[in-house]
Amino acid sequence: MEHYTTTLTAPAPYDFDLTASYATYFQKRYAADSYMDGVFSRLLEVGGSCCLIQISSFGRIESPELRLVVKGRDLDDRIISEAQRQAVRLLGVDQDPKPFYLMARGEPFLDPLVQRLRGLHIPQAASVWEALVLAILGQQISSHVARLLRMRLVDNYGFPVTDNGSAHHAFPRPDVIAKIGVKGLQALKISQNKAKYIVDIADEIVSGSLDLEELQKQSDEEIIDFLTAIRGVGSWTASWLLIRAFGRSDAFPVEDLALRRTLSDLLKRDTSPLTPTRALKISKRWSPFRSYVTTYLFAALRSGLLSE
């Protein structure tokens, strides 16, 4: 394979290890992303071609510099440009968390958490399609089961490439999912309802009647309204997509039980999770940085800083 190497610079502070670890749920591999031995890897499909991107850090948190290596056959300017764009997106390289940090200084429970997780940027999914499928798979099940389903989907239907003895899989394209159909997803132990939701969305994308990426131009409210009109997509899923697919800074998935339980514990309210109404009211004081608050809370949970 051909190689192309370049340098990416992120606004400081940027903790590459923490951000890459969060992107993979503090696992060596999660869905189509992997992070092992200091290298974040991802296989992308760009206009019918595949390229493997590998990102590592050679800077420091306060002076971050990342090395991006793009590998593929017949690399051209179009593929390299898209690989760079995706690298920035996947690991939140262009984000500036400093305004959020200034806000957090006034929060007794939030400021210590921010100091422990300083430099965490918010990873993004490679596409709205990918984020939506992953979110649907994670609805109303444990994080362990959600990981298994997401891994099975990628391993069975994602295009494979082997590099230096390691296998990488791209995230399955809509046309692939449309072709395998509901029964193909059910064979992975995905429930019939979720399989139908995902295949229906894939069919609409393939037919040209649905363009999820066009939603990037819409407001938060317009995105929520559009997504929740899709069968199988509720406010929990739509709110998480604002964070993970659209890069919006002020999303708050108030229906997430783990989020409300954690906030209740940190705010020392009582042993019960906050109600959605109460949690939403409290969250308004963190606007317009509620996506950061949500991300930092889940980073603390997934890394073991906080217990669920």
Give the start-to-end residue ranges of the domains of the chain: 2-94, 128-244
Q: Rounded to a whole number, what is the distance in angstroms from the first to the last CA of the chain?
A: 44
Rounded distance between C-alpha atoms, residue 17 and residue 224, angstroms: 32
Tell me what pLDDT residue 271 has: 76
How does pLDDT run across 58-85, given as a tens digit for each residue? 999 999 999 999 999 989 999 999 999 9
Contacts of 205 (CB under 8 A, 6+ apart): 129, 174, 178, 211, 212
- 118 and 95 Cβ atoms separated by less than 8 Å: no
Whether the link from the prior residue into 13 is cis, omega within 30° of 0, is yes
Q: What is the reported pLDDT for 308?
A: 64
Task: Provide long-range contacts, Cβ within 8 A and 24+ apart, for 23-30.
Answer: 23/90, 23/91, 23/123, 25/143, 25/147, 25/302, 26/302, 26/303, 27/147, 29/151, 30/147, 30/150, 30/151
Q: CB under 8 Å to 93, separation ≥6 — which residues?
A: 8, 10, 14, 66, 87, 121
CB 47 within 8 A of CB 60: no
Give percent above pLDDT 70 in the chain.
100
Q: Check residue 160 and give its pLDDT.
A: 96
pLDDT tens profile 93-131:
999 999 999 999 989 989 999 999 999 999 999 999 999
**Residue closest to 31 by CA, chosen among 182, 121, 138, 122:** 138
Over 90: is that where the pLDDT of 188 sits?
yes
269-290 average pLDDT score: 93
pLDDT at 197 over 80: yes
Taking each helix axis from N to C terminus, what angle separates 128-137 and 235-244, rounded to the nearest 10 degrees?
Answer: 140
Contact, 250 vs 288, CB < 8 A? Answer: yes
- Residue 268: pLDDT band (50, 70, 90) is confident
CA-to-CA distance for 304 and 65, rounded, in angstroms?
A: 27
pLDDT at 106 (0 to 100): 84
Compute the average pLDDT of residues 182-210.
Answer: 98
Note whether 23 and 40 are within 8 A (CB). yes
Q: Please provide the CATH number assigned to the domain covering 2-94.
A: 3.30.310.20
Interatomic CA distance for residues 179 and 177, integer angstroms: 5
- The least confident of 27-31, 106-110, 227-231 is 106-110
State the average pLDDT over residues 144-156: 98
Query: Above 90 in pLDDT, residue 307?
Result: no
Tell me which CATH homologous superfamily contains domain 128-244. Answer: Hypothetical protein; domain 2 (1.10.340.30)
- Mean pLDDT, range 291-295, rounded to an integer: 98
Q: Are 80 and 46 in contact (CB under 8 A)?
A: no
Interstrand relation of 160-163 and 166-169 (parallel, antiparallel or unpaired):
antiparallel
Residue 216: predicted pLDDT = 97
- From residue 35, alpha-carbon distances to 68, 141, 189, 210, 235 in Å are 14, 25, 26, 32, 30
Predicted confidence (pLDDT) at residue 270 exceeds the cutoff of 80: no
Q: What is the DSSP string of 241-284?
A: HHHHTS--TT---TT-HHHHHHHHHHTT--SSPPPHHHHHHHHG
